[in-house]
């Protein structure tokens, strides 16, 4: 088709195409940015969830005190009384990025607050990520596939879920860094989301070597990367010497050695005659085998001698999915670390799941270094996403690239066949495509196939259909090399197929927008629910945290389960005992033990930790399912793992976790039960728990060692104060108790009045 | 058997030497540089094995700087080699500029890591 044009025309067309694709990319960036703003529009410009609050706090510190103070920051407001060396235990990529952004904006006299910068960091970087996807896919399969993949990535639900405005977390920037690193690597330098990269690239190099695709370009791309990458990684304090000491990284070193050997072999092969080379090979092999055995033996001995075989727990749970639940309850207790369910694949990558196999095939049709890398990427990421929900995010870009390739390849085929037949159609003035005698049979064949394929597209699921789709894409692309004439599909069929593909894309867009708007935009500190009388907003968390910051002393310690640690330090600015950085299992187990002990023992534990206030999250009144009672079994498990007098069976009746009248006495007397359900019966007279859908077991009881100081509007957060020791200053204790009871009684009236469910 | 292998070895070394003699001088200089830096790295490893690895970052930065320069020099050698067809269109000046730049970055990082 280009041949018929004049050379001037083609140049003009290329220029036009470049301008067009530039604008398309610009629009994709805008799309990626704006689809993530639903959370700001529907809620407000707040930071979401748990970890982002910590990142926000770190960024605040960074912008206020500068980078040197940041590296040396010892935070005494968490993990009381231990504290935490933040500068040495945090991956600094995200905070440094946002800090730089803030600094640039302010030096341009654009006065944005740190919070605003943090909220919008994720959308900005997702726009960058889609551009990086364009570059990467362009290297693999050309600009068309690149643009399609970029559009897909801009709105893949899995990535949206991690990068809506406000979810200020490492993933937001890491995905951009990941894709961009891959792009640079393929293009022939590194930072960011890093163990995966540092293992995937060596695997690709190894694959290239094994399949005989070694070239000196590969050496130039890889060898400096290892040295520089290792050095740069060990400059980051969290990684430190881990970069050379843990066996996650041994893979890359091994490949580093192998590539040197291969390079040497190729070099010698180049300068020697074939016969001499054979002699050299036999000679080197006999010596090399002995050396290799010795080296491997030393390595194995080194790895085996280190505890946990040199692998860190999180990575081990990647390779062996059952590892975490067996050995580390604290990793298993995080819902993000569970294996995903099938619906979540459909939810998160939607139609892409069906396009991926087609994309793989399209990658194989002419297999280049770049496309083999992408294939390797998708295969490993599919495996990892099957192990942990959280790693679905790594799968998302790979799936987007693959489906982009598949879509653009099939569009290419269909449009080309339409173009080919358009003159013929004009000439015949009859819209009959399969009439030319030479192609009749093939065309008929194709008709049958496309018809099947249409059906496949209509009812998407089931393996069979996917296979057909695969075949379908494979056929044209294979034929593209052999005979261009055979590429031609019947006119109607290709029109219909294009329409169906557009329909498929439309479904994807609709689903993604829905996911962005409804499913993934909730900031989880502000909750909403629809009921028959309209929209309810539950802003209890911020209510409780602001109560804490206004009504308690600056140095008071607040104990809660670790989920709420980051939020308490960031929003209430109070010292916490444990937080979401679960670095000290014993400390968390201590809090877990306190929560599962009876009141007096718990009071003693908390008093020994200098705790003034205890915060529990309770969803029984409004039906908020992820509250502390539902997490309680994990507290028991983690506590029992360190303090054996806490036994899980004591809290279960016949292996069932229940809080109704059948519950065990240990359960009914533990601190968590009491703090959650204290005075609960006064709300509706029956004490019906809306989450567990049952009446609670023990309704009327008094607290002896704790007093209620604050309960939020919907009872979602309840704050208790530890009573002072009674026997020493008896008179004062009594007075304070009577005062407390009067305050609680007024509060009680208030909460009942404002209760939305009555 | 032993005799044939030794003879083969001799022949091999001979042909290796004769093949290597044809390489241009500037490539030979680069080779010397590579061998020198690998040798320096080896000395450090041996020293570490004898004395111990206490300031681990110093050891690491020493060895890695040697290996890094060696690797970069090999890359330079590959790129300026006239017989290598993959880099025909790449001028040697460009390759040398890359080499200098990478070395600068590498040694900045090394200095930082040295502690």
Is residue A719 within 8 A of residue A615, CB to CB? The reply is: yes
| A713 and A618 fall within a common domain | yes
Identify all chain B residues contacting A231, using CB atoms and an 8 Å cutoff: 61, 64, 68, 106, 109-110, 113
CB atoms within 10 A of CB A213: 14
| A706 and A614 fall within a common domain | yes
pLDDT band at A301 (very low <50, low <70, confident <90, very high): confident
- Chain B residue with CA closest to A226: the answer is B68
Q: What is the DSSP letter of B53?
A: -
pLDDT greater than 50 at residue A192: no
A224 touches chain B (CB under 8 A): yes
| A465 and A601 fall within a common domain | no
Q: Tell me if A621 is assigned to some domain.
A: yes
Are A279 and B11 inside 8 Å of each other by CB? yes
| A592 and A737 fall within a common domain | yes
Q: What angle is formed at CA A579 by the lines to CA A525 and CA A307, rounded to 5 degrees? A: 135
List the single best residue of A67, A68, A216 to mutate versus B (max B Cβ within 10 A). A216
| A677 and A610 fall within a common domain | yes
Identify all chain A residues contacting B61, using CB atoms and an 8 Å cutoff: 231
A65 touches chain B (CB under 8 A): no
Task: Return the residue matching tokens 């896919």.
Answer: A137
Residues B24 and A642: their CA atoms lie apart, in Å, by 69
B109 touches chain A (CB under 8 A): yes
Residues B53 and B47: their CA atoms lie apart, in Å, by 9
Are B113 and A231 inside 8 Å of each other by CB? yes
Specify the number of domains making up chain A. Answer: 2
Q: Tell me if A433 is assigned to some domain.
A: yes
A492, A509, A526 — which closes off a domain?
A: A509
Mean pLDDT for the stretch of residues A533-558: 85
Mean pLDDT for the stretch of residues A620-639: 84
Are B16 and A215 inside 8 Å of each other by CB? no
Q: Tell me if A582 is assigned to some domain.
A: yes
| A603 and A714 fall within a common domain | yes
Residues A163 and A33: their CA atoms lie apart, in Å, by 10
Average pLDDT, chain A: 74
List the single best residue of B15, B20, B48, B103 to mutate versus A (max A Cβ within 10 A). B15
Q: What is the pLDDT of residue A456?
A: 38
SS3 (DSSP) at A709: strand
Residues A280 and B103: their CA atoms lie apart, in Å, by 34
| A460 and A542 fall within a common domain | no
Q: What is the pLDDT of residue B36?
A: 92
Q: What angle is formed at CA A630 by the lines to CA A625 and CA A635, rounded to 5 degrees? A: 145
Q: How far is B83 from chain A (nearest CA, A)?
A: 10
| A442 and A547 fall within a common domain | no
A236 touches chain B (CB under 8 A): no
CATH no. for residue A622?
A: 3.40.50.12610
Q: How far is A449 from chain B (nearest CA, A)?
A: 43
Q: Tell me if A644 is assigned to some domain.
A: yes
B90 touches chain A (CB under 8 A): no
Compare CB distances from A216 to B20, B61, B78 and report the shortest one's residue. Answer: B78
Q: Which domain holds residue A424?
A: 404-509
Are A268 and B16 inside 8 Å of each other by CB? yes
| A540 and A454 fall within a common domain | no
**Lowest-confidence pick of A217-226, A551-560, A573-582, A700-709:** A217-226
| A496 and A540 fall within a common domain | no
Sequence-ordered list of residues with C-beta below 8 angstroms from that of A731, at least 6 positions apart, any chain: none
pLDDT greater than 60 at residue A340: yes
Residue-wise pLDDT tens digits, B44-100: 888 888 887 777 778 888 888 888 888 888 888 877 777 766 666 677 788 888 888
Q: Tell me if A560 is assigned to some domain.
A: yes
- Chain B residue with CA closest to A243: the answer is B60
Q: Tell me if A159 is assigned to some domain.
A: no
Are A223 and B74 inside 8 Å of each other by CB? yes
Are B75 and A271 inside 8 Å of each other by CB? no
Is residue B81 within 8 A of residue A240, CB to CB? The reply is: no
Residue-wise pLDDT tens digits, A677-695: 888 888 777 778 888 888 8
Are B15 and A227 inside 8 Å of each other by CB? no
Residue-wise pLDDT tens digits, A208-221: 666 665 666 666 66
Bond into A695 cis (ω within 30): no
Compare A749 and A214 and report the one with higher pLDDT.
Answer: A214
Three-state SS string across A295-360, please?
A: HHHHHHHHHHHCHHHHCCHHHHHHHCCCHHHHHCHHHHCCHHHCCCCHHHHHHHHCCHHHHHHHHH
Nearest to A330 by CA among A645, A643, A637, A672: A637
The most distant pair of C-alpha atoms in chain B lies apart, rounded to whole Å, by 55
Are A216 and B15 inside 8 Å of each other by CB? no
| A559 and A415 fall within a common domain | no
The answer to pTM > 0.90 is no
Residue-wise pLDDT tens digits, A27-38: 988 988 888 888
Report chain A's C-alpha Rg in angstroms.
Answer: 31
Q: Tell me if A575 is assigned to some domain.
A: yes
Q: What is the pLDDT of residue A599?
A: 85
Identify all chain B residues contacting A216, using CB atoms and an 8 Å cutoff: 78, 84, 86-87
| A546 and A585 fall within a common domain | yes
Are A271 and B9 inside 8 Å of each other by CB? no
Q: Tell me if A282 is assigned to some domain.
A: no
Residues A50 and A562: their CA atoms lie apart, in Å, by 10
* ipTM confidence score: 0.72
A215 touches chain B (CB under 8 A): yes
């Amino acid at each position: 088709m280009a041949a018929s044009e004049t050379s001037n025309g083609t140049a003009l067309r290329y220029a036009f195409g470049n301008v067009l694709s530039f604008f398309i990319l610009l629009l994709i960036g805008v799309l990626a940015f704006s689809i993530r703003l639903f959370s700001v529009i529907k809620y407000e410009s707040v930071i979401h969830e748990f970890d982002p609050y910590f990142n926000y706090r770190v960024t605040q510190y960074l912008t206020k005190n500068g980078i040197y103070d940041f590296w040396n920051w010892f935070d005494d407001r968490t993990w009381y009384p231990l504290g935490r060396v933040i500068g040495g235990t945090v991956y600094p990529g995200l905070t440094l990025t946002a800090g730089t952004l803030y600094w640039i904006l302010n030096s341009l006299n654009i006065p944005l607050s740190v919070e605003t910068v943090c909220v919008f960091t994720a959308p900005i970087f997702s726009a960058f990520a889609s551009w990086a996807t364009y570059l990467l896919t362009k290297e693999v399969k050309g600009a068309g596939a690149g643009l399609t993949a970029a559009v897909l990535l801009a709105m893949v639900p899995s990535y949206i879920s991690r990068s809506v405005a406000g979810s200020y977390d490492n993933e937001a920037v890491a995905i951009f860094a990941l894709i961009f690193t891959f792009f640079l690597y393929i293009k022939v330098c590194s930072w960011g989301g890093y163990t995966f990269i540092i293992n995937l690239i060596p695997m690709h190099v190894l694959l290239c070597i094994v399949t005989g695709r070694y070239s000196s370009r590969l050496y130039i791309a890889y060898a400096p990367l290892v040295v520089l990458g290792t050095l740069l990684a060990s400059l980051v304090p969290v990684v430190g010497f881990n970069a050379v000491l843990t066996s996650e990284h041994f893979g890359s070193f091994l490949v580093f050695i192998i590539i040197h050997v291969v390079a040497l072999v190729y070099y010698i092969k180049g300068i020697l005659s074939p016969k001499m080379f054979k002699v050299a090979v036999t000679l080197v092999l006999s010596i090399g085998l002995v050396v290799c055995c010795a080296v491997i033996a030393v390595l194995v001995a080194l790895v085996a001698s280190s505890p946990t075989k040199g692998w860190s727990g999180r990575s081990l749970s990647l390779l062996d999915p059952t590892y975490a639940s067996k050995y580390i309850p604290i990793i298993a207790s995080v819902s993000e670390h569970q294996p995903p369910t099938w619906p979540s694949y459909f939810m998160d990558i939607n139609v892409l799941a069906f396009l991926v196999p087609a994309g793989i095939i399209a990658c194989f049709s002419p297999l280049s270094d770049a496309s083999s890398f992408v294939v390797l990427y998708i295969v490993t990421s599919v495996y990892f996403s099957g192990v942990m929900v959280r790693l679905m995010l790594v799968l998302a870009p790979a799936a987007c690239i693959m489906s982009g390739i598949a879509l653009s390849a099939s569009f290419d085929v269909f449009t080309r066949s339409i173009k080919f037949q358009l003159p013929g159609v004009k000439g015949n003035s009859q819209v009959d495509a399969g009439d030319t005698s030479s192609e009749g049979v093939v065309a008929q064949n194709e008709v049958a196939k496309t018809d099947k394929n249409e059906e496949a597209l209509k009812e998407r699921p089931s393996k069979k259909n996917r296979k057909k789709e695969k075949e379908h894409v494979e056929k044209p692309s294979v034929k593209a090399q052999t005979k261009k004439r055979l590429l031609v599909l019947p006119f109607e069929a290709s029109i219909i197929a294009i329409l169906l593909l557009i329909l498929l894309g439309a479904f994807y867009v609709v689903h993604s927008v829905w996911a962005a708007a409804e499913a993934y935009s909730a900031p989880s500190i502000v909750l909403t629910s629809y009921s028959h009388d309209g929209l309810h907003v539950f802003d209890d968390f911020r209510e409780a945290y602001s109560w804490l910051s206004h009504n308690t002393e600056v140095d008071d310690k607040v104990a809660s389960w670790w989920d709420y640690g980051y939020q308490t330090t960031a929003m209430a600015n109070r010292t916490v005992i444990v937080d979401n950085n679960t670095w000290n299992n014993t400390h968390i187990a201590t809090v877990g033990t306190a929560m599962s002990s009876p009141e007096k023992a718990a009071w003693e534990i908390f008093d020994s930790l200098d705790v003034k206030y205890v915060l529990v999250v309770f969803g029984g009144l409004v039906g908020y399912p992820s509250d502390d009672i539902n997490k309680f079994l994990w507290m028991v498990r983690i506590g029992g793992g360190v303090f054996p007098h806490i036994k899980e069976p004591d809290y279960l009746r016949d292996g069932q976790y229940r809080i109704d009248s059948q519950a065990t006495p240990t359960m009914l007397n533990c601190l968590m039960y009491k703090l959650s359900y204290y005075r609960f019966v006064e709300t509706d007279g029956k004490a019906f728990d809306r989450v567990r859908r049952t009446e609670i077991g023990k309704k009327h009881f008094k607290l002896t060692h704790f007093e209620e100081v604050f309960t939020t509007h919907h009872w979602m957060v309840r704050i208790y104060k530890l009573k002072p020791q009674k026997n020493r200053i008896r008179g004062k204790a009594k007075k304070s108790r009577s005062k407390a009871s009067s305050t609680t009684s007024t509060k009680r009236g208030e909460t009942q009045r404002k209760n939305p469910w009555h | 058997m032993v005799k044939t292998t030794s003879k083969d070895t001799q022949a091999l070394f001979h042909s290796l030497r004769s093949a290597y003699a044809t390489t241009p001088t500037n490539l030979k200089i680069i080779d010397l540089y590579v061998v020198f830096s690998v040798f320096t790295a080896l000395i450090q490893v041996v020293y570490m094995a004898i004395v111990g690895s206490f300031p681990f970052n110093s050891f690491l930065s020493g060895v890695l700087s040697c290996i890094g320069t060696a690797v970069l020099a090999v890359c330079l050698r590959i790129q300026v080699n006239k017989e290598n067809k993959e880099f025909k269109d790449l001028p040697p000046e460009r390759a040398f500029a890359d080499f200098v730049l990478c070395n600068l970055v590498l040694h900045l990082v090394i200095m930082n890591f040295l502690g």
